[in-house]
Structure 1
């Protein structure tokens, strides 16, 4: 979804660590096999291996649409910037999510403590331990922070086959904020209690975060920037919706497993199939009711 040009972004909601912190190239394990395992466990979710030893090295390319700018996200001022630069699009999406969720949850008498958001390049330290690009975007409940290396968004297209549209990228951010909402509501820990399998708590947690992402999309074009009074985002188009569904399909456990090993092993799923991820994102978007995102209340998610 495109941003309204006149929307005023708030870059203070995003900490930009690119160019600093840990030395580049750290990753979990070694070789492409280790990377695939980590992605299967951690893509778009809580990082279960983040406390492990991290060694090795490789650099990451800049993301599609990203800007190599010395000013970082402090240069993200308007919606026009969000339409031009990936780091500004992430910033604008964070602003929109932090505007949407407090108002929505207030209807259920639930407070929304604002999470932190960090952009990093290749590796950084977190409240859950050291992390690298290899783990993908993730939410750390220990420090209530969502972490993104913008370089991941290129891999989402080139490695996983997603479209490169803006809502495909915004969906990633909204999914991680969905985990923060789960932490508030008390569902997040269920992933660790039942960590893998097609009916597991882990899969149900991830699918619920997809549903929450869809819920945000439903209302994103009506949430107004408090400074300009304009909606953060333009109305959803059919192409936008297809971009988001493309991203959800690209990161299904079955699709990633088939591409990596040539076979599908549901017993090791942690995030759900492509069809499940699309289904629950669309449920949140089409119905717009958080009560319909109860992935734990159905026999088969």
Structure 2
């Protein structure tokens, strides 16, 4: 991933609350997610518990958090992967550090700002070009340990997620260390970009009303939940295929970049996770799709560059 050094970044699309967010296990109000269990919603647009239980570490990957949590009080959160806490980096200083593509090439935080900017620039263009209602931007919130959201309180064990109620993507960067260390993904900048683009795929689904198609069909190999997640993977690929046109990158992504995304997609397939965590595959419990399906639908989006090709709700998947 090589940013255009002269590209102008918009850090207002990313909120950094890592220095001010509630600590895991501390206050925060509301009910949290219980590590090791899927908490069903009271109601709202989440459409169900679209969460993927991940191995012994009890992480939930690539998900939509329903608008309300219910169930038992949360247990102590699973420990986060080690990453140095930001030093001398108070909330909100992204504006002074992340101004151009050159900054994005030098800093992980600024790279995320640039990635978010590019993803949203693409979807703004896509909505306009297809005569849809205008695209509503969604902020990404960088947090550490725990965070309050309009969907409830969550901690780092949740992994990256999108909250439909406040239309924000939430991201603890320690997730990427865990993805590489514990689940065998290659890691790298484009693995991060894929995860972020997947979450923004959920934002697009929210804007288009696609989430409502899931209803109570929340588990199973051909369930609405699986179809929704695979479409988000496809949307991530569509952005990747069009990213250079957004003006934030100097050239299309390399095959090495795409391989990072495919590796991340494969690592968090339902079948891969189940084999690692319980030694067997149970299709009736699928919520996100197999490793092969996740790779397939990212590739469909990437090679076509066309969101219309991402209709995972029709026919086989």
TM over 0.5: yes
Unaligned runs of 5+ in 2: 27-31, 39-50
1:1-301 correspondence runs (5 A): 1-25=1-25, 28-29=33-34, 33-34=36-37, 38-39=53-54, 42-48=60-66, 51-52=69-70, 53-57=73-77, 59-63=79-83, 68-71=87-90, 72-74=93-95, 75-110=97-132, 111-224=134-247, 231-232=248-249, 234-298=251-315, 300-301=316-317
In 2 relative to 1, CA 63–189 (structure 1 residues): closer, same or farther, beyond 3 Å?
farther
In 2 relative to 1, CA 50–165 (structure 1 residues): closer, same or farther, beyond 3 Å?
farther
Query: Any conservation in 2 of the 1:25–1:59 contact (CA below 8 Å)?
Result: no
Q: TM-score, normalised by structure 2?
A: 0.85
In 2 relative to 1, CA 9–203 (structure 1 residues): closer, same or farther, beyond 3 Å?
same
Worse-superposed segment, 79-88 or 178-187: 79-88
Number of residue pairs matched? 291
d(CA) in 2 for partners of 1:70, 1:10: 18
Worse-superposed segment, 142-151 or 71-80: 71-80
Runs (4 or more) in structure 1 with deviation over 6 Å come to none
Q: RMSD in angstroms over aligned alpha carbons?
A: 2.4
Query: Any conservation in 1 of the 2:67–2:165 contact (CA below 8 Å)?
Result: no
Worse-superposed segment, 215-224 or 33-42: 33-42
- 3-state DSSP class of the match of 1:124? strand
Worse-superposed segment, 215-224 or 18-27: 18-27
Worse-superposed segment, 50-59 or 248-257: 50-59
Query: Any conservation in 2 of the 1:197–1:203 contact (CA below 8 Å)?
Result: yes
- 3-state DSSP class of the match of 1:8? coil
d(CA) in 2 for partners of 1:261, 1:296: 29
Larger helix percent: 1
d(CA) in 1 for partners of 2:224, 2:207: 17
Per-residue CA distance 1:161-197 (angstroms, 9 max, x = gap): 1112211110000000000111111111233431010
* 1:266 CA drift (Å): 0.8
In 2 relative to 1, CA 222–172 (structure 1 residues): closer, same or farther, beyond 3 Å?
same
